[in-house]
Amino acid sequence: MQALPIFIKITNRLCVVIGGGDVASRKVNMLLKANAAVLVISPNICHELQALAEAQKIQYMQASYAAAQLQGACLVIAATDDAAANAAVSRDAQAFNIPVNVVDSPGLCTFTMASIVERSPIVIAISSEGNAPVLARYIRTKIETMLPTGYGRIAAIAGEFRDKVKAKFATTQERRIFWEGVLQGPIIERILSGQEAAARKALDDVLSEKAEVKNRGEVYLVGGGPGDPDLLTFRALRLMQQCDVCVYDKLVSPEVMELVRRDADLIYVGKVRDQHTLPQEEINELLAKLALQGKRVLRLKGGDPFIFGRGGEEIETLMQHGVPFQVVPGITAANGVSSYAGIPLTHRDYAQACLFITGHLKDGTLDLDWVAMSRPRQTVVIYMGLVGLTQICQQLIAHGVSPDMPAAVIQQGTTQRQRVVTATLSDLAEKVTAAEMKAPCLTIIGEVVQLREKLNWFEPNAKGHL
């Protein structure tokens, strides 16, 4: 290690930036985040710095550089395109014992600017000591994807309770054990899911009862998206990695399942038409039962839990049992599959509305709102409509939709097994049968389907355009 990583408090302290271009602007913005009093010195400044000066967020001195300008500064940054001026700033700052950074010149620096991951008050700085700033930024990006934005809120709430914890636990070891229990339990999940009031109450309860943090069970109702694991949210992935048991559906792709914690218990409750592994009511009770046993239960669903996913029914049961839960939305099939098929759901020339329909009702009948589905200038997206596809097409034509209306059926959309059949209402069912399409499939009906020929961009390994 060639440099000591430290954090310097510069709140309301003078920081001088020599230079007025875009690079100087980026450095100024970083200093302002730390509440510094910034003075920019340059003959000219860019529009961004001019706006900051006019808003009185920085001081601006329109002048060429002179050593006397550094007097009183706690640090200096040189960001000009003049090598001689940059060298002079470095030399003068060091003579005044002021820390100095010269952009892109490690040899002239007494400190370097790290690449920052900010979850204030948590701040992570990555430095290559000026040797590889692009690599440092790349590492920062990796950490950004791993660290939830809510960690800053965790730190802030921990700060609020610091004195209370110190008053209860006499030794450092006792306090460490307490906080480790908190960080691994449901209180943290409440903070990360935005339930900060509930988290504070839980911490107060634990401290007032002088009890250990209990690892109470919880249910994570997570949307697994349409199939491509890259479409998962950061929160979904984090919860998938920390669950004790995963209750999952048939529509969750194998690639997504691969990301579930390796040693979690897996319980399959998938549904095939008229063949339910577990009735929905029993699934609801199973989730509550597992959570009441103290387990962290991942209820993993394809698409989004609240769009034909029966998530509402499941959390009603959880609420009846007093089980904590959180809901993580997923990209629903209509959005993900249509995008990967190159079919925009709305388009100002073809469709100003979009209608989501489930292809079978609760009692298994096909009694849909055909009038609403037959309106012009809209896109109709049908989930789970493969079995009733012939009747759907016939009914739409009977209710006034043109037999030549473009339509498509997409099988296993967003995955490398994606297959697409495009046709018209008059021959869609026939072509789908000939192609031996299998569930899960999504049906899209509307003028927007004709755009697929122009907008198709996704090429799965197994060529899927029929």
pLDDT digits (tens, 9 = 90+) for 67-93: 999 999 999 999 999 999 999 999 999
Strand 37-41, strand 59-61: pairing? parallel
Q: Are 437 and 410 in contact (CB under 8 A)?
A: no
**What is the set of domains in the chain, with CATH numbers?**
14-113 (3.40.50.720), 115-147 (3.30.160.110), 157-209 (1.10.8), 218-331 (3.40.1010.10), 341-455 (3.30.950.10)
Q: Which residue has the higher pLDDT, 149 or 95?
A: 95
Examine residue 305 and say whether the peptide bond preceding it is cis (omega within 30 degrees of 0): no
Angstrom distances, CA of residue 113 to CA of 2, 123, 149, 223: 14, 13, 22, 39
Phi, psi of 251 (to 5 degrees): -80, -5
Q: Which helix (H) or strand (E) holds 187?
A: helix 186-192
Q: Are 398 and 383 in contact (CB under 8 A)?
A: no
Contact partners, residue 290, CB within 8 Å, separation at least 6: 217, 219, 245, 247, 297
What angle (nearest 5°) sits at the alpha carbon of residue 229, between those of residues 225 and 233?
Answer: 60
Rounded-to-integer distance, Cα 25 and Cα 14, Å = 16
Task: Give Cα 119 distance to the centre of its chain.
Answer: 15
Region label for 129, one of left (φ > 0), alpha (ψ between -120 and 50) or beta (otherwise): left
Q: Count CB-CB contacts under 10 A for residue 154.
A: 20
Q: Over the chain, what is the mean pLDDT?
A: 90
Quick one: pLDDT at residue 403? 97
Which residue do the tokens 């009846």 mark?
A: 320
Rounded-to-integer distance, Cα 206 and Cα 185, Å = 12
Contact partners, residue 389, CB within 8 Å, separation at least 6: 359, 409, 428, 429, 432, 443
Q: What is the pLDDT of residues 302-331, one digit of tens each?
A: 999 999 989 999 999 999 999 989 999 999
Q: Per-residue confidence at 394, pLDDT binned at 50, 70, 90? A: very high
Q: Which helix (H) or strand (E) holds 64?
A: none
DSSP 3-state of 63 = coil
Q: Is the pTM of this model over 0.85?
A: no
pLDDT value at 276 more than 80: no
Count the helix, strand and coil residues of the chain and give each as a percent rounded to the nearest 5. 40, 20, 40
For the stretch 68-80, what's the b/e string if a residue is b when 16 or more beta carbons lie within 10 angstroms of its beta carbon? Answer: ebbeebebbbbbb
What is the mean pLDDT of the segment spanning 169-187?
81
Rounded-to-integer distance, Cα 394 and Cα 425, Å = 8
Rounded-to-integer distance, Cα 364 and Cα 424, Å = 26
Nearest Cα neighbor of 98 from 74, 78, 116, 79 is: 74
% the chain with pLDDT above 70 = 95
Q: Would you please indicate which residues are annotated as catalytic (active-site) residues?
A: 249, 271
